[in-house]
């Protein structure tokens, strides 16, 4: 027995020693690579004076170059810098990829065991110094000062490159309740607002523009310059996983919201105080076949059984383009039967060049969605329709289609090879570099890329910003049902009521009424629910997407009904997609839809501190069969919907019928 124990101890000790050697070896490797990349950098750019004019000598040549002089026109500055750039520097600029930060604000060059993604994403200095990239999509950030300090740190690295080209830091949405690494990132130190579909429920373009303006201020305070949003897609297919990021299914409403959003972020023109918008997804990513998302192979097809391709262009025609969105992102899907070849949008010259560039005269940056060229930890390359092409052939086709930048990729060597082999001209590359440089200059990054770390906490998540977000949450709530139990509607409840909670926080609800521990003691039940979905067991990314059927399944459905049938129940349903819930809706005494709202906002409506005003930006179907019979590209075409588009009650009044669905 003692001998066996000794053997086991030797084995355990050996494994522990081996793990330690791997850790030490890994650390040494990454540290060596970091040192190698940093060695490629030169000195910081000095601040010099020329004839009384102070400037940053970005190329460190001791003289004032036209691109360093803010008194010159942007076109002059662009052409001067373009003429100094090597092919390698141009190729690096054409890629934007995800990047990680350290909470301390230092470069992220060595993987952090507490963050598994750090083992899959490339080191900061590798992309900046090694591949000469200067556009990045920042991910997780736990505190504002840390994010700002890290942004300054990597701007310092960029300053030490040959030409000192500053970094454009981009971000997915950070102000809503959605925490989806494929679509949005929860950021508690910013103000908290309803999701975009909730903004649409307010029908208030002034509120949306105010949101954009506040988001702009908070982004710029921490050094974020490019918003990878808004989504101008239409929610015409109710099963699609990304409905909460849209402004609903009505094209004209979406156009109004998109325009206000972009104007709030950018202002009337792009300046050093703006956040540039990359509006997505041209030419409309909503009509997914059977609602399956195009991030995944089974969702590669977009279909138009109602012949409504043009309807999905309206949010761009009437919203994004009039607001002068700086950039555009196509989606992953294939617009089946709409062009001469069934290939995904970013590979499709008829969509990018013929339609977007020529018909709409859009001359801003066009950036692909993430991961169209190479396989990654997030899954296979989303080269839908061109899976047979090699990586370099995919890059060639995307450039020839008319795109300027590759999202989620770090492969500048492929562009270099294409140019050096004569397959792509350097003049074509220069077209894209001009657009990318123009936005950097317009955003003021060449003159001042740094932020004041000490001011971040005073400029983000302020009392006024949070109050504006809290009011927007309340305005976005939609009262769908308010039964009359005696002679008056059940809502709003009296503060004397005794309530049993299912999903609400007791510490919040106790501010409004008496909270009891059993249903039998209660006068009412207050219940928070989430719209149902079918979990997928594929990739890690897949687990973040709510897809599949829209109805409540057993045993959850029976659990809900068993409670609702005991006492009058007020349900608040978080609806990132429409829910099929006829029995639950019928049994409830009150039904409120939220699109990202905290308990206090919902209870303010329940107890009458706020009179609900929200209107549905999507319709709620009555059955799964009705969903399956809908056409993916057609708005509000569900047969006998449970609640129509535009429905919404207020206390003491009837629903506003101005936005109700037509019979068309």
Give catalytic residue positions: 369
Q: How many CB atoms lie within 10 A of CB 429?
A: 22
Residues 6+ away with beta carbon under 8 Å from 163: 58, 59, 81, 84, 85, 89
Pull the structure tokens for residue 113: 């065991």
Q: How far apart are CA 142 and CA 259, in angstroms?
A: 31
Residues 6+ away with beta carbon under 8 Å from 389: 383, 397
Find where tokens 């060049």 sit.
353
Q: How far apart are CA 98 and CA 34, in angstroms?
A: 18
- Under a CB-based contact definition with an 8 Å cutoff, are residues 236 and 179 in contact? no
* CA 528 to chain centroid: 25
Give phi and psi for 499, each to the nearest 5. -125, 140
Alpha-carbon dihedral of residues 313, 319, 325, 330, nearest 10 degrees?
A: -20
Q: How far apart are CA 351 and CA 79, in angstroms?
A: 28
Q: How far apart are CA 128 and CA 134, in angstroms?
A: 6
Q: How many CB atoms lie within 10 A of CB 554?
A: 7
Q: What is the sign of the dihedral through the CA atoms of 397, 403, 406 and 411?
A: positive
- Under a CB-based contact definition with an 8 Å cutoff, are residues 296 and 286 in contact? no
In angstroms, what CA-CA distances link 539 with 295, 376, 535? Answer: 11, 11, 11
Longest dimension (CA), the chain: 88
- Under a CB-based contact definition with an 8 Å cutoff, are residues 137 and 170 in contact? yes
Kind and range of the H or E element at 526? Answer: strand 524-530
Q: Which among 529, 584, 588, 522 is positioned nearest to 558, based on CA atoms?
A: 584
Q: Which among 169, 87, 76 is positioned nearest to 432, based on CA atoms?
A: 87
Q: Which among 144, 106, 142 is positioned nearest to 125, based on CA atoms?
A: 106
Task: Quote the crossing angle between the two packed helices 463-476 and 599-606, to the nearest 10°.
Answer: 50
Q: How many CB atoms lie within 10 A of CB 662?
A: 8
Phi-psi region of 447 (alpha: psi -120 to 50; beta: other; left: phi over 0): alpha
Q: How far apart are CA 200 and CA 232, in angstroms?
A: 12
Kind and range of the H or E element at 501? Answer: strand 498-502
Q: How far apart are CA 590 and CA 571, in angstroms?
A: 6
Q: How far apart are CA 294 and CA 286, in angstroms?
A: 10
């Amino acid at each position: 027995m003692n001998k066996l124990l000794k053997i086991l101890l030797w084995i355990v000790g050996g494994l522990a020693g081996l793990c330690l050697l791997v850790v030490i070896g890994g650390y040494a490797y990454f540290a060596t690579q970091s040192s190698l990349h940093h060695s490629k950098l030169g000195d910081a750019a000095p601040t010099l004076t020329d004839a009384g004019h102070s400037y940053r000598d970005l190329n460190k040549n001791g003289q004032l170059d036209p691109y360093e002089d803010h008194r010159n026109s942007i076109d002059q500055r662009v052409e001067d810098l373009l003429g100094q750039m090597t092919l390698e520097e141009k190729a690096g600029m054409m890629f934007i990829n995800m990047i990680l930060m350290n909470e301390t604000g230092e470069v992220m060059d060595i993987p952090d065991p507490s963050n598994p993604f750090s083992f899959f994403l490339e080191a900061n200095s590798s992309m900046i110094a090694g591949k000469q990239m200067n556009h990045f999509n920042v991910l997780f950030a736990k505190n504002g000062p840390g994010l700002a300090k890290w942004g300054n740190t990597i701007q310092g690295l960029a300053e030490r490159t040959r030409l000192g080209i500053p970094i454009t830091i981009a971000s997915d949405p950070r102000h809503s309740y959605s925490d989806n690494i494929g679509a949005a990132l929860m950021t508690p130190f910013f103000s908290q607002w309803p999701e975009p579909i909730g903004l649409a429920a307010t029908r208030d373009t002034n509120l949306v523009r105010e949101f954009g303006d506040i988001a702009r201020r908070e982004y710029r305070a921490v050094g974020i310059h490019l918003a990878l949003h808004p989504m101008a897609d239409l929610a015409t297919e109710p099963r699609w996983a990304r409905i909460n990021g849209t402004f609903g299914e009505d094209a004209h409403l979406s156009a109004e919201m998109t325009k206000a959003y972009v104007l709030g972020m950018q202002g009337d023109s792009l300046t050093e105080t703006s956040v540039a918008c990359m509006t997505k997804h041209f030419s409309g990513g909503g009509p997914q076949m059977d609602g399956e998302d195009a991030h995944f192979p089974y969702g590669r097809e977009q279909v138009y059984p109602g012949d409504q391709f043009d309807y999905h262009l309206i949010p761009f025609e009437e919203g994004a383009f009039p607001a002068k969105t700086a950039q555009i992102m196509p989606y992953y899907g294939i617009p089946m039967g709409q062009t001469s070849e069934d290939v995904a949008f970013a590979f499709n010259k008829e969509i990018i060049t013929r339609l977007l560039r020529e018909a709409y005269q859009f001359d801003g940056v066009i950036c692909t969605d993430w991961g169209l060229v190479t396989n990654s930890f997030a899954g296979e390359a989303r080269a839908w329709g061109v899976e047979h092409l090699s990586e370099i052939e995919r890059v060639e086709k995307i450039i020839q289609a008319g795109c300027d930048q590759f999202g989620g990729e770090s492969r500048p060597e492929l562009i270099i090879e294409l140019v050096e082999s004569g397959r792509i001209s350097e003049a074509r590359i220069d077209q894209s570099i001009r657009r990318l440089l123009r936005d950097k200059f317009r955003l003021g990054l060449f003159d001042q890329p740094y932020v004041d770390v000490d001011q971040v906490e005073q400029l983000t998540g302020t009392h006024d910003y949070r109050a504006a977000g809290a009011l927007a949450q309340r305005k976005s709530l939609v009262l769908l049902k308010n039964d009359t139990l005696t002679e008056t509607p059940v809502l709003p409840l009296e503060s004397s009521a005794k309530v049993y909670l299912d999903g609400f926080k007791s510490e919040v609800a106790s501010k409004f009424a008496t909270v009891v521990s059993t249903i039998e003691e209660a006068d009412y039940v207050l219940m928070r629910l989430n719209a149902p979905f079918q979990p997928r067991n594929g990739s890690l990314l897949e687990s973040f997407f709510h897809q599949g059927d829209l109805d409540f399944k057993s045993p959850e459905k029976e659990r809900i009904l068993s409670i609702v049938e005991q006492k009058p129940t007020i349900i608040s349903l978080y609806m990132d997609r429409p829910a099929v819930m006829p029995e639950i809706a019928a049994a409830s005494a009150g039904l409120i839809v939220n699109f990202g709202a905290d308990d206090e906002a919902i209870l303010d409506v329940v107890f009458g501190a706020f009179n609900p005003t929200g209107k549905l930006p999507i319709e709620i179907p009555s059955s799964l069969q009705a969903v399956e019979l809908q056409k993916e590209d057609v708005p509000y075409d569900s047969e006998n919907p449970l609640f129509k588009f535009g429905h919404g009650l207020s206390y003491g009044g009837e629903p506003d019928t101005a936005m109700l669905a037509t019979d068309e």
